[in-house]
Amino acid sequence: MFFNTDANLWTLELLEHGKRLGRIIAVRDGARLLLSDIRLENPKHKHQGIGSRLLNEFLTKAQKSGINEVWGSVTQDDIQKTSYLLDWYQRRGFSVLEPDDKCVKPAVRKIMMKLPNKVSEIIGDLRLHQSQR
C-alpha cells in the first residue's frame, strides 16, 4: 500500500509487483473525510477483495488521524456501473442516506460512516459486516 496525504488530499493505492490495482482518493475537511473516488484499475479485479482491503486500510488510517466521519456522494452513473455499490457500502458499515446540500448535484444517495474511537473497534466492525455478506 502507498499512502499519501498532501495537505488535505488523501490518496491510498494498492500496489502489487509495481502495478496499481486500486486507489482511494479523499479530501479532508477538519475531522471529516469526503470519499471522492474508489477505483479498481481493471474490472477483472472486482470480487477479489481489493476494494475491501483498500477501504479497511483507509478507514484505519483515517481513524488514527483523528477523523470521526467519512462520507461521499453516489450518483446514478456510479450505480449503473456497479449495481451492488450501495449494498457494498452498507456491508462495510456505511449508512445510505438521502443526499444533502454537501453532496454533488447529480447524487442520488449519500454514504456516511461515523468512526469509532479505537482502531480495534473499527477492524472488528468491518470484519463483522464482511462476514454478514
pLDDT tens-digit series, residues 68-92? 999 999 999 999 988 999 999 999 9
pLDDT tens-digit series, residues 16-36: 888 888 999 999 999 999 999
% of residues, the chain, pLDDT over 90? 57
Please tell us whether the domain made up of 2-131 is placed in CATH 3.40.630.30. yes
Q: Looking at the whole model, is its pTM more than 0.85? A: no
Percentage of the chain lying above the pLDDT 70 cut: 87
- CA dist 73 → 98, 106, 120, 127, 128 (Å): 10, 9, 27, 24, 24
